[in-house]
Amino acid sequence: MFSHALGLAQVDRRVEAGLAARVLEPGVAQRVRIMARLYEAAPSGARVSGEALAGLLGISRAAVHKHVEALRLAGVTLDSTRGGGYRLSTQPDAVVPEVVLPLLFGADHDGSDESPGATSSSVGLPYRYSAAIDSTNESLKEIAQHEGVAGALVVTDDQTGGRGRLGRRWISQPGKDLTFSVLLRPRVLPAEASRLVLAAGLAVAEVVQRLLGPGRTVGIKWPNDVLVDGRKVCGILSEASMDMDRLHWVVIGIGLNVNSRPGEAGLWDGGDAGRPAPVSLAESAGEELPRPALLAQLLDALAGHWRQVDTGAWESVRLACAERDVLRGTSVVVRSGFSTDIVVTEGTAAGLGPEGELLVRGHDGTVQPVRAGEVTLSGR
Ligand code: BT5
């Protein structure tokens, strides 16, 4: 059940960096360090003594006890014995910073994302969790307008007014799915903003593929859907503020069906009539999945691909997206992003252009790059 190999020294280093940059609250930072030790001990069933934690953090036993109570309130189930110490009794599913950040910080990677100033140097910090919220994108857009820090994350368990594109709705099951948004302040031109959305879709697709194994086809439906065997598992909504030559910020919101049964909610009705029913990871995997580890993996993968976009490696992101392009070779109708009554072009999808545009070969053989719009497979 518990299989987290954590680099404890790395967790502590990243906690220190978060504190120094003032993107991590001191109380949360201490609980992240406590949770890292509890995760580390969990596979063997060993207990972590209050005394050891007090020594580690340089605080009293009573203060350790308070942190443990805060963890319990946040949804972590711990068993404790007098004098025997603490132990995780179940795999936590709370997507609070104390539970997710140790997994993110301790993940086994080369640490090359820690260069100061990189767009994605700390995707996930500051980490803002709300039990319920209207829309994580709306909340983060407000933060963005008030000098929010690049990498800032807003995540909720219950998104009550989730948005898709064109005023559509995104529906998630409270406590079952992942709904979160990340703020970026990238060093790319306004015309290159769509690179970040494609990079996000690629990150999600790769994490999902790793999880489900090679037997499943995990594809990207241009520009912002991730599909498992043709069924939508994830939607991405990006919103940006820019002027003629500069992107001020980009908010990228991700909704991923994890442990819900979206097919039963009838989400493909109405505007999406005729499309295959959406699917969740649990339905695809045949078992429920702990969300914190998944969120940590997603944040790590997103940071990696956004870093590539930021550091001139866009072409390899584009090629990897093209390999997962589910539209290629199919007959498509592209409608305007402003009004789905207006057909922009029709033809056969012919891959992705240099900026990640959808290439559509018309009936007369000419290839037209499409930068924005709503794609449906023709006949649907
Ligand atoms: C999207 O729009 O797919 C973008 C969804 C982005 C959601 C995230 S959650 C965090 C952040 N905060 C927000 O408020 N939004 C973002 P679009 O391509 O327009 O697709 C919307 C359509 O997907 C709807 O009209 C439904 O038919 C369908 N849909 C709604 N909920 C779904 C779900 N859970 N799974 C699959 N399909 C869904």
**Residue 246 CB partners (closer than 8 Å, separation 6+):** 189, 190
Which residues are registered as beta bridge partners of 377? 332
Verify whether ligand 1 is closer than 6 Å to residue 376 (CB atom): no
Note the pLDDT of residue 117: 37
Verify whether ligand 1 is closer than 6 Å to residue 271 (CB atom): yes
Encode pLDDT of 264-315 as tens digits.
876 665 445 567 899 999 999 999 999 999 999 999 999 999 999 999 999 9
Verify whether ligand 1 is closer than 6 Å to residue 201 (CB atom): no
Encode pLDDT of 56-83 as tens digits.
999 999 999 999 999 999 999 999 988 7
Give 225 Cα–ligand 1 centroid separation in angstroms: 9
User: pLDDT above 70 covers what percent of the chain?
Assistant: 92
In which band, very low, low, confident or very high, does the pLDDT at 184 lie, cut at 50, 70 and 90?
very high
Cβ–Cβ < 8 Å for 354, 367: no
Give 113 Cα–ligand 1 centroid separation in angstroms: 30
Give 171 Cα–ligand 1 centroid separation in angstroms: 7
The protein residue with its alpha carbon nearest to ligand 1, atom 33, reads: 171
Whats the size of the chain, residue-wise? 380
Sign of the Cα pseudo-torsion (255, 156, 285, 101, in order): positive
Ligand 1, closest atom to CA 161? 14
Verify whether ligand 1 is closer than 6 Å to residue 262 (CB atom): yes
* CA–CA gap between residue 101 and residue 213 (Å, rounded): 25
Complete DSSP assignment for 109-122: S--GGGSTT-TTTT
Encode pLDDT of 8-45 as tens digits.
999 999 999 999 999 999 999 999 999 999 999 999 99
Angle (CA) 186 220 302, round 5°: 35
- Of 139, 158, 160, 170, the residue with max ligand 1 atoms within 8 A of its CB, to mutate for a pocket test, comes to 170
**Residues 4-8: what's their mean pLDDT?**
78
Complete DSSP assignment for 306-349: HHHHHTT-HHHHHHHHHHTBSSTTSEEEEE-SS-TTSEEEEEEE
Encode pLDDT of 157-174 as tens digits.
999 999 999 889 999 999
Encode pLDDT of 200-215 as tens digits.
999 999 999 999 999 9
Cβ–Cβ < 8 Å for 77, 68: no
Note the pLDDT of residue 108: 67
Measured CA distances, 207 to 29, 47, 100, 194 (Å): 26, 31, 16, 20
In which band, very low, low, confident or very high, does the pLDDT at 111 lie, cut at 50, 70 and 90?
very low
Residue-averaged pLDDT of the chain: 91
Neighbours of 344 (CB within 10 A): 17
Note the pLDDT of residue 53: 96
